[in-house]
């Protein structure tokens, strides 16, 4: 698959040019490509989703501390967030219970349920 290199020329954090030979394709379907790049200078990750639409391509990029394997694991969970989940989290943070929980989280933690 051909990825448009103009969408992903430089790291948005440090400005280092990306090595396009290091692009990892995490998922590829008829209408989109999910790829990952890691900056060789600052080690920040970039998750990039490119949508193939009838009138052209659209790219969305997110800077992340996750690596490509962690992104694949999140993709596997694939559980939709319900309105009830959103309201629960709103109440959770509104009551002040969320801050200690977030402060204790470590890189790579994947929260699937809060009791």
Any domain includes 115: no
Q: Which residues contact 112 (CB under 8 A, 6 or more apart)?
A: 77, 79
Q: Give me the domain span that covers residue 24.
A: 5-104
Angle at 23 between CA 50 and CA 51, to 5 degrees: 5
Q: How many structural domains comprise the chain?
A: 1
The pLDDT profile of the chain, 115 residues, written as one tens digit per residue, is: 445 555 678 888 898 998 878 889 888 888 888 889 999 999 999 998 888 888 888 888 889 888 888 888 876 666 777 888 888 888 877 776 655 555 555 555 555 544 4
Residue 41: per-residue pLDDT: 92
Any domain includes 100: yes
Distance CA 106, CA 11 (A): 24
Any domain includes 17: yes
Residue 106: per-residue pLDDT: 57
- Local structure of 91: helix, strand or coil: helix
Residue 54: per-residue pLDDT: 87
Any domain includes 114: no
């Amino acid at each position: 698959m051909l990825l448009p290199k103009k969408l992903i020329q430089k790291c948005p954090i440090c400005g280092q040019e990306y090595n396009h030979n290091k692009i990892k394709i995490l998922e590829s379907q008829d209408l989109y490509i999910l790829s990952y790049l890691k900056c060789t200078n600052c080690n920040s990750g970039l998750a990039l989703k490119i949508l193939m639409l009838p009138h052209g391509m659209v790219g969305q990029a997110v800077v992340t501390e996750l690596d490509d394997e962690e992104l694949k694991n999140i993709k596997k969970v694939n559980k939709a967030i319900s309105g009830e989940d959103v309201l629960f989290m709103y109440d959770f943070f509104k009551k002040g219970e969320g801050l200690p929980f977030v402060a204790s989280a470590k890189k790579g933690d994947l929260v699937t349920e809060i009791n």
